[in-house]
Amino acid sequence: MVLNNVFYLIVKTFFRVVFILYNRLEVRGLDKVPPGMSFIVASNHASYIDPPLLGGVFPGRLRYLAKESLFRNPVMGFLISTLGAVSVKREDSQRAGAVMKIMLARLALGESFLIFPEGTRSSDGKLLPLEGGAAFLSVKSGVPLLPVYISGSSDVMPPHRFFPRPAKVRVTFGDPIFPDNAIEGEKQRREAVKDALEKALHSLERVSADDRSRKCA
């Protein structure tokens, strides 16, 4: 257990340092993340670098699903599994129920889990309409959502590119979103959580866009 934690800290630090030096990583809003709590980290998704990027900056171990094929490379498999990746078979990844079951089991253990509520990668870095999976997990588990917006990862490693560019990336954490048990009906609670998440991510997206515009002016 101690050795596993040591490897985790080494790999986490490695990824963070690489992103700081190569991509001028900037992290904002970490003060909004209460220590010792588990979260469903709900982030936009525009690049393959997003999971290790968030794993490197989140204050704690962050679990996320990764295709079984990524573990075939011994080095890559060791790095991502140490950082928190959970292998999922191709047939399971195509069944929403199986995926939700895996994540709910991890959340029940008090772990934090990363989910991309858009359901797919954005080709241009702009936020896509959200699916209902993140809200479903939050209401079912009682674990709050933590909205996160990544700016610049689509420039670092867009689809079909095999080596990252030295473009700047910024990770911005928003305020946690707790499921409101005062709302009657699970479907209504899920809709309320989904709406709150969508508003939070769009707000973070606008702030990131405004910051980039000011720096480019």
Structural domains in the chain (count) = 1
CB atoms within 10 A of CB 175: 15
**CA-to-CA separations, 24 to 84, 96, 97, in angstroms, rounded:** 23, 36, 38
Give the dihedral sign, CA 82/85/90/91. Answer: positive
One-letter amino acid at 207 equals V
Claim: this prediction has a pTM higher than 0.75: yes
Domain that holds residue 174: 2-216
Residue 2 pLDDT more than 60? no
* pLDDT class of 77 with cuts at 50, 70, 90: confident
- Region 165-184: mean pLDDT is 94
The CATH number of residue 204's host domain is 3.40.1130.10
Residue 94 pLDDT more than 80? no
What pLDDT, on a 0 to 100 scale, did the predictor assign at position 38?
95
Residue 216 pLDDT more than 60? no
Residue 61 to residue 45: CA distance in whole angstroms: 19
- Region 189-202: mean pLDDT is 97
